[in-house]
Structure 1
Amino acid sequence: IMALRRALHFVFKVGDRAATATFYRDVLGMKILRHEEFEEGCKATCNGPYDGKWSKTMVGFGPEDDHFVAELTYNYGVGEYQLGNDFLGLTLQSSQAVSNAKRLGWPLTQVEEAVYLTQAPGGYPFYIIDKQQPSHDPVQKVCLGVSDLQRSTRYWATLLGMTVMDKSQDKNTVLLGYSDSQCKLELRDTGGKVDHGTAFGRIAFSCPREQLPDIEALMKKEKETILNPLVSLDTPGKATVEVVILADPDGHEICFVGDEAFRQLSAVDPRGNELLDKAMAEDKSNEWFAKNKMQKPAA
């Protein structure tokens, strides 16, 4: 059953959409897969606990059917988010991204041989392995901080059905995944409480639609947190998907979405780039705050 589950994306809250677009497009070399504008908050709080106008931009090295991508959510009235110690980094392999960063003067720190640390706008850490980009997905893993590694491993492996791929020499980390060919999830013991700040993200997986009620029922039985019971989400003009939103023992948000409808929803939109550029050009929120001599509020 678990082989049918797959890792889809990580949701980042973005305060500066233009700088963020530069990072993903020009530094990492990802493509804009689709861009959508919404007039009001999401029923499954995809954009966080905000009720106003927001946008969602999916970026990746290829279609979400076989690549792990980033979902960038932008709330028009919010200029910045406070980072916690919950998201510890996304690792990808691309010497092209390293040379892009050097060419553009994007700050890079070498952390070990052939591995560089950089930051997306907003301070999100990205690790870039300086080796040729693989023909399959260059995104290798997402690392999340946990306060009790054993408890978290039980949650992700026993309850959510991930395979422990590598317990490595490092007793503080565990690598899990649904399959070898997909982006992995690394859990790292932070040695204390996990703080999500206001920038807290969310990791998304798909499963066959019929498994959604079972996931929800299992979490109820285990007395684990369900943030959003099974709900249908509409995207104007696109497929309606069903999701259930969970939180792991440290409060990391997890979305499970029905795979069949999601494959339709996540089809690459060739106008994605154009739609994002148009939305950024039409976004007058920075000017409005400047004109009123106000700073765009932090979350």
Structure 2
Amino acid sequence: MGSKRALHYVLKVGNRGQTARFYRELLGMKVLRHEEFEEGCKATCNGPYDGKWSKTMIGYGSEDSHFVVELTYNYGVGQYRVGNDFLGITIQSSQAVQHARQMKWLLAELPGGLFEVVAPGGYTFYLEDKDQPKTDPVRRVALAVSDLQKSLHYWSSLLGMKIYSKDETKKNALLGYGDNQCKLELQDIGGPVDHGTAFGRIAFACPKDELPNIEAKMKKENQKILTPLVSLDTPGKATVQVVILADPDGHEICFVGDEAFQELSQTDPTADKLLNDKHSKSVRLRGHLLGTALFRSPHRFSFGFRSGLWLGHSTMLYCYGRRQECRMVCKTQ
């Protein structure tokens, strides 16, 4: 159990500006690194999309000692359908509660000194109204399951997680790879798990030599392997090896070789500026596209992006995130 550690959870986002504001200003996280990619990931890290995308790692400290969030942005994809699979991330931070109030963000008070906020994209966060600890304040990630016993067998017996607690009445359990690590909460919802198109992925590190064994064990147990052992490149950074699995409810799980990942995940002091610059550039590009089309056409225009934004009346620009393909459909009135 001690050789594995929880790393991050992947969330797909459609609006980098609003998203960055929530994580930086409300939650008080810092941008740790930002990376841009020209084509889809071999391990579908960005989902089923082949076009240009980016990832932003954001959290309360170094990825070596903190559980962080990976924000995945696919250019041209403005929104995703949220299912019932992701139930939330719990953070101990009275500072975040205060920030939410100052920002007039919708804040729902729950019993036991807990507050609920929803991030752009529809992702739920639970804030414990206690002083933020000097160690990692991210306490747990909660995922929905359809059969708790079946899930416990998978996560504990097959993947080696320790069961820290189990509540038969509430039908949930808390698991983890270490006492001081972020925990995984499994909540039985008594029905099918719907991943929508916003489905995420939880990542863990382990020694590189353990990756083939994890893959072999899952094959032997007839469990789903989404991506067999593969090497992933990041421009200008370390190459890592990963195996991508899926639990009985289809939750995606990434195991990555820790040695190379520690090199890849070094905090970049320029990451915050890089994210800002890339976001500003993409906003200017979208504005130029809209302005040019509106100026040149003799007809009134209507633009339809996957995000559902509409302007004008007669022409639609359909953008397909899978290959960044766009086509115009013009209707004169």
TM-score range, shorter chain: over 0.9
Partner of 1:296: 305
Task: Tell me how far 1:295 sits from its aligned partner.
Answer: 3.0
Task: Tell me how far 1:139 sits from its aligned partner.
Answer: 0.1
Task: Tell me how far 1:135 sits from its aligned partner.
Answer: 1.1
Flag the 1:105–1:295 CA change in 2: closer, same or farther, 3 A.
farther
Counterpart residue identity of residue 295, structure 1? G
CA contact (8 A) 1:289 1:295 kept: no
Task: Tell me how far 1:288 sits from its aligned partner.
Answer: 6.0
Q: Distance in 2 between matches of 1:84 and 1:288?
A: 34
Counterpart residue identity of residue 74, structure 1? Y
Q: For 1:19, what is the secondary structure of its paired residue?
A: helix
Q: For 1:3, what is the secondary structure of its paired residue?
A: coil
Partner of 2:19: 20
Partner of 2:215: 216
Partner of 2:259: 260
CA contact (8 A) 1:176 1:185 kept: yes
Partner of 1:38: 37
Deviations 1:15-36 (A, max 9, x none): 0100000000000000000001
Q: Distance in 2 between matches of 1:295 and 1:138?
A: 40
Partner of 2:312: none
Q: Distance in 2 between matches of 1:150 and 1:29?
A: 36
CA contact (8 A) 1:10 1:71 kept: yes
Partner of 1:7: 6
Q: For 2:160, what is the secondary structure of its paired residue?
A: coil
Matched residue pairs, number? 298
Partner of 2:144: 145
Counterpart residue identity of residue 287, structure 1? G
* 1:1-299 → structure 2 map (5 Å cutoff): 2-168=1-167, 170-284=169-283, 286-287=286-287, 290-291=290-291, 293-298=302-307
Task: Tell me how far 1:171 sits from its aligned partner.
Answer: 3.8
Task: Tell me how far 1:289 sits from its aligned partner.
Answer: 6.8
CA contact (8 A) 1:108 1:116 kept: yes
Task: Tell me how far 1:149 sits from its aligned partner.
Answer: 0.4
CA contact (8 A) 1:238 1:265 kept: yes
Q: Distance in 1 between matches of 2:13 and 2:169?
A: 32
Task: Tell me how far 1:4 sits from its aligned partner.
Answer: 1.1
Flag the 1:261–1:190 CA change in 2: closer, same or farther, 3 A.
same
CA contact (8 A) 1:91 1:129 kept: yes
Flag the 1:289–1:190 CA change in 2: closer, same or farther, 3 A.
farther
Counterpart residue identity of residue 294, structure 1? F
Q: Distance in 2 between matches of 1:63 and 1:189?
A: 32
Task: Tell me how far 1:290 sits from its aligned partner.
Answer: 4.6
Flag the 1:57–1:114 CA change in 2: closer, same or farther, 3 A.
same
Q: Distance in 1 between matches of 2:152 and 2:73?
A: 32
CA contact (8 A) 1:286 1:296 kept: no
Q: Distance in 2 between matches of 1:104 and 1:258?
A: 40
Flag the 1:150–1:169 CA change in 2: closer, same or farther, 3 A.
closer
Stretches (4+) displaced over 2 A: 168-171, 284-293
Cα RMSD (Å): 1.2
Q: For 2:61, what is the secondary structure of its paired residue?
A: coil
Q: For 1:47, what is the secondary structure of its paired residue?
A: coil
Q: Distance in 2 between matches of 1:138 and 1:225?
A: 32
Q: Answer with 1 or 2: which has the greater Rg.
A: 2
Q: TM-score of the superposition, structure 2-length normalised?
A: 0.87
Task: Tell me how far 1:112 sits from its aligned partner.
Answer: 1.4
Q: Distance in 2 between matches of 1:134 and 1:224?
A: 38
Counterpart residue identity of residue 225, structure 1? K
Gaps (5+ residues) in structure 1?
Answer: none
Q: Distance in 2 between matches of 1:172 and 1:199?
A: 25
Task: Tell me how far 1:170 sits from its aligned partner.
Answer: 3.7
Q: For 1:79, what is the secondary structure of its paired residue?
A: coil
Q: Distance in 2 between matches of 1:276 and 1:295?
A: 26
